[in-house]
């Protein structure tokens, strides 16, 4: 079973759950909006790193979301990230051998999340993102950065059994 990153629930507002996440380390790859980064990240955690160590797979897999009509287009690039094993800091994570994989520390933060089931087609992700943004605006909570998609299940899990979340960093 895949380990899930820990968090503390700090509140709710309707379907929105507020969570405090500890500092994390991500292995991140930029891609052209598909899941091509998955193979690079999988190679990294299965030994394509300076220590030639295998790192445990941790859920969720995090991808950036495209935001239609709400921001100027800066790039066609999206990112995909694997969360490194919880409790590890940047110095404990081996460097990748492939320069397309970046190791990115993320400080402790509070995130607002909406959960949904399915295979996460773009229209469902966009709908969850819109509900999240509207709920935060209604609650008067400051949004920080861009939303991201968190997928918790392996690709072979049937869509109706998959657990997904759209998250957005907040400041309260």
How do residues 113-159 score in pLDDT, each as one tens digit? 999 999 899 899 999 999 999 999 999 999 999 999 999 998 889 98
Q: What is the pLDDT of residues 158-172, one digit of tens each?
A: 989 999 999 999 999
For residues 89-93, give the mean pLDDT: 95
Residue 72 confidence (pLDDT) above 70: no
The pairing of strands 58-59 and 3-4 is parallel
Q: What ranges make up the beta strands (E) of 14-141?
A: 16-21, 24-31, 58-59, 61-64, 78-83, 102-106, 109-117
The pair phi, psi for residue 105, each rounded to 5°, is: -75, 140
Which of 65, 66, 47 lies closest to 56, judged by CA?
Answer: 47
Q: Which helix (H) or strand (E) holds 123?
A: helix 122-139
Q: Which helix (H) or strand (E) holds 42?
A: helix 37-45
The pairing of strands 78-83 and 24-31 is antiparallel
- What is the Cα–Cα distance from 86 to 77, expressed in whole angstroms? 27
Contact call for residues 28 and 79 (beta carbons, < 8 A): yes
All domains of the chain, ordered by start, with CATH?
3-171 (3.20.80.10)
Which pair of structure tokens corresponds to residue 97?
């051998």
For residues 21-49, give the mean pLDDT: 89
For residues 57-79, give the mean pLDDT: 64
Q: Which has more pLDDT, 105 or 155?
A: 105
- What is the Cα–Cα distance from 45 to 37, expressed in whole angstroms? 13
Q: How many CB atoms lie within 10 A of CB 95?
A: 12
Q: How far apart are the first and last CA of the chain?
A: 34
């Amino acid at each position: 079973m895949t380990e899930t990153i820990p968090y503390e629930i700090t509140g709710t507002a309707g379907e929105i759950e507020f969570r405090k996440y500890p500092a994390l380390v991500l292995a991140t790859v930029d891609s052209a909006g598909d899941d091509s980064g998955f193979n690079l990240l999988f190679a990294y955690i299965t030994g394509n790193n300076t220590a030639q160590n295998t790192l445990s797979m941790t859920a969720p897999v995090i991808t950036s979301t495209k935001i239609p009509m709400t921001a100027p287009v800066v790039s066609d690039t999206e990112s995909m990230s694997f969360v490194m094993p919880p409790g590890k800091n940047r110095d404990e994570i081996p460097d990748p051998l492939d320069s397309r994989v970046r190791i990115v520390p993320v400080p402790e933060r509070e995130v607002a999340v909406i959960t949904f089931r399915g295979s996460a087609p773009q229209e469902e992700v966009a709908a969850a993102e819109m509900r999240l943004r509207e709920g935060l605006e209604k609650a008067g909570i400051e949004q920080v950065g861009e939303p991201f998609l968190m997928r918790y299940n392996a690709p072979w899990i049937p869509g109706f059994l998959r657990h997904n979340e759209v998250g957005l960093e907040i400041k309260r």
